[in-house]
Structure formats: C-alpha cells, structure tokens
Amino acid sequence: MKILSIETSCDDTCITIFEAKGGIKNASFKILANSSNSQINTHIPYGGVYPVMAKREHIKNLPIVFEKSWKEAKIKKIDLIAVTYGPGLEMCLWEGITFAQKLAKKWKVPIVPVNHMEGHIWSVLLQEPTISKSEFLISKKIQMPAIALLVSGGHTQLVLVKGFGKYEIIGETLDDAVGEAFDKVARMLDLPYPGGPHISALAEKLRNIPLLRGGSLARRGGKIHPPPPSGTPQEENFKLPRPMLYSKNFNFSFAGLKTAVLYLIRDLKKQHSNILQNDKIKQAIALEFENAAIECLVYKTAKAIEKYKVKTLIVGGGVAANKYLRNEIKKIKKIKIYFPTPLLSGDNSIMIGVAGYLNYVKNKSRPQASGKNEPQNIKAVGNLRF
C-alpha cells in the first residue's frame, strides 16, 4: 500500500511517501519521496523553538514540502495517511493533523494517528545507506523484549518494549529533557541553537587528550565518580554533579546539572570576566557537562538492562546522534544495540510512516472501539504518553 506520512510535532516540517507491504512480521518499505524543511534558522535568534513562529512556519512549509514529495514520488494514489498526533507542541501538531484531514477528505482515505515516541523507537529499523530501498523483517531483526532509551529535546525515557504496541515507561526525567539541558548549556556558552551538536564538538576537542577525558564508565571498571583527572590545569578541572545516579529507580534529572553549569560560569566570570572568549575553558565545561549527562544515561540504561534481563537495546531521539553516548553505550556487555542512522535520529516523517503502517496493520484486524480514529476525530495531544 502507498502511505503518506506527516511530522510537525516541533520545528521540522516533514513528509514522506512510501510503498509498504508485508504486515508486522515481514514489513518492508520502499521510500518513494522524502522532503523536509527545518526551521533552525528561524529559531536561532530565540535560542530555542518559539511555538507561535514554529506553527507559522508549518503553515507556510506544509504545502511546499507536500508538492515536492508528491512530484518526486510520481504516483497517482495514496491508500493511507500517517500523522503525528503527540507528544509535541500542540499548535504545531494541529497543523500536521488538519493538513492530513484535508488530504484524507479529498482522497477518501483513512488516517492513522502516530505517537511520535513510538516513531523514535522504530526509527532504528531502517539502516543507511539503503534508505531509498529499505527492506526489513522486524521479527527476525529485533529480539524482544527490549529496553528503549529515548533521548530528545522534549523527552528522556527508558521504555520496556515488549513488542510492537506494547510499551511501559520504566523511568523518565523528572524535570528537563537531556536534549533541553544540552541546548540550555549551549546558550550559556554562547553557542547557537540547537546546542547538542555544538557542545559535543567542543567536548570532542578535549576528549582526544587522554588526561582530560574523564567520564568513561568502562575505563573506570563501572565505578562511578572517579578522582578528577590529574595533571590538568586547575581551572579546567571542573566537576559537575551526576543527579540521581544512585537513586533506586530509572528516573533522571537534568535541571540541577544545568543549574550547576550556570553557577560554575557565574563563579568563573568573577575570576575572569571574558571567560566565554576562552576556548579551553568552554571546551572543559562542555566536556564535563557531556560526561555528567551521558554518565547518567548510560548508567541507568545498563541497570535497566540488568533488571529486565533484556538482550536488545534501542536508542532513539535527537541525542542518539551524540558520539560520546554511542561510544559509552556500546561498552555495555552482552546486548545487541540498535541506533538510528544519523538521518533518522532527529525528527523525521520516515519513522512516523513506519510506525503508522505497523499500527494500521495491527489495528485493522480488530474492530474499532470507537470512532476516535475517524479522520475528522483525530486530535492533537501535546502531552501524549505510551
């Protein structure tokens, strides 16, 4: 069947057209067209996503991105529309939904509403460089149950995935999402939005110098809180907290870490007012912040894997692109790890189409409990949970 999928939950306007077949066990996808429009440049002056502006951009970009995909796909008919209905910025979600509703009415086709986080989980199914003709078999490729670590600008969750459609959140952030913390710390260091890649690039510059690396769980034989790396200049020997590392649950907290960076910069400014012009100090702050944030993620993920005795780990969401996270998580033993390709770690409509098709196939065999999936009844749910 031919599927058109739409993603507008945050600051990316994305549309993909697929050919999908095979059902849940033997699903295979061929991507016929994939277009998106990132709003990063619009939001840079605000240092983050400005919802009203994002909504306006979606209104402007949806018809453009649609036209581009439609021309590229060279098809005459769509059988199903998949659209993100949450979680995300509600006013942005509505733009994708109403666009989908208009197309569904015109083409007389059903809409399947998709949970954005479910999209991030199954984003790992498609591997580059075969993205234009991706074929995969879920049951053969991914052993269930799995733990999914979902890390983005809006979420930080550990999810027990028992199978397609069977999810249980076993831990999550109690305040800021890890991507949000990366973005806020980047702002404190005068780095542009989105800050994650910039922090990571700064940290990487020092990470290659052995004495300054710190942070690696594996190098420390799994022990937490190493002595500060010796032989480093005093002012670059920063130590930030690892919030909730020892808590007896799988929750996270990043607000305190972010505030600790704020206080560190404030104190440093008392000593040198032009601290943000000092590349070495900025790199050292970025390095210690990244070490602290990633240590919390990796440690709790390893604990969850141990407790639930799973053999599979899925890592999804924008922060899954982080090089240090990838390297550290790969050190967890006896586990098969799936990462999205860099193209699919951030928000995209490919993952929405994949999750949409699988949901459609799964629910088709069951009678609808209510008309809530009738195209005109689909509603945006900003705080949607599994």
Phi, psi angles (nearest 5°) of residue 372: -65, -20
Give CA–CA dist 64/119, Å, rounded.
23
Answer yes or no: are the C-beta atoms of 83 and 113 closer than 8 Å: yes
**If binding is defined by CB under 6 A, does position 90 make contact with ligand KG4?**
no
Q: Which of ligand KG4, Zn ion, none does 171 bind, CB closer than 5 to 8 A by kind?
A: none
255/71 Cα distance (integer angstroms): 45
Site track for ligand KG4 across 135-154, x = CB under 6 A: -----------------xxx
> Residue 196's binding partner, choosing from ligand KG4, Zn ion, none, with beta-carbon cut-off 5 to 8 A by kind?
ligand KG4
As measured in angstroms, the least distance from the Cβ of 213 to ligand KG4 is 17
Number of residues that bind ligand KG4 (CB under 6 A): 20
Site string for ligand KG4, 362-381 (x = CB under 6 A): --------------------
Q: Which secondary-structure segment (H or E) carries 1?
A: none
Contact status: 182 vs ligand KG4 (CB under 6 A): yes
Q: Which one of ligand KG4, Zn ion, none interacts with residue 183, CB within 5 to 8 A by kind?
A: ligand KG4
Please say which residue, 27 or 180, places its beta carbon nearer to ligand KG4.
180
- How large is the greatest C-alpha to C-alpha distance in the chain, in angstroms? 69
Q: Which stretch binds Zn ion (CB under 5 A): 33-41, 70-78, 186-194, 346-354?
A: 346-354
CB-CB contact of 68 with 4 (8 Å): no
346 binds ligand KG4 (CB under 6 A): yes
Coil, helix or strand at residue 242: coil
What span, in angstroms and rounded, lies between the C-alpha atoms of 193 and 41? 9
> Is 183 among the residues that bind ligand KG4 (CB under 6 A)?
yes
Nearer to ligand KG4, 109 or 286 (CB): 286
Nearest to 36 by CA among 376, 380, 351, 374: 351
Residue 195 as a binder of ligand KG4 (CB under 6 A): the answer is: yes
Cβ atoms of 70 and 6 closer than 8 Å: no
Q: Which residues pair with 36 in a beta bridge?
A: 14
Check binding of 152 to Zn ion (CB under 5 A).
Answer: yes
* Secondary structure tally for the chain: helices H, strands E: 12, 10
Shortest spacing between CB 231 and ligand KG4, in angstroms? 28
346 interface partner picked from Zn ion, ligand KG4, none, CB below 5 to 8 A per type: ligand KG4
Question: Which residue's structure tokens are 């954005």?
Answer: 116
Spatial separation of the C-alpha atoms in residues 314 and 206, rounded to whole Å: 28
Sign (positive or negative) of CA dihedral 17, 21, 25, 26? negative
Q: Is residue 215 within the footprint of ligand KG4 (CB under 6 A)? A: no
Single residue of 321, 329, 350, 378 touching ligand KG4 by CB under 6 A: 321
**Contacts with Zn ion, residue ranges (CB under 5 A):** 152, 347
**Contacts with ligand KG4, residue ranges (CB under 6 A):** 10, 152-154, 179-180, 182-183, 194-197, 200, 317-319, 321-322, 346-347
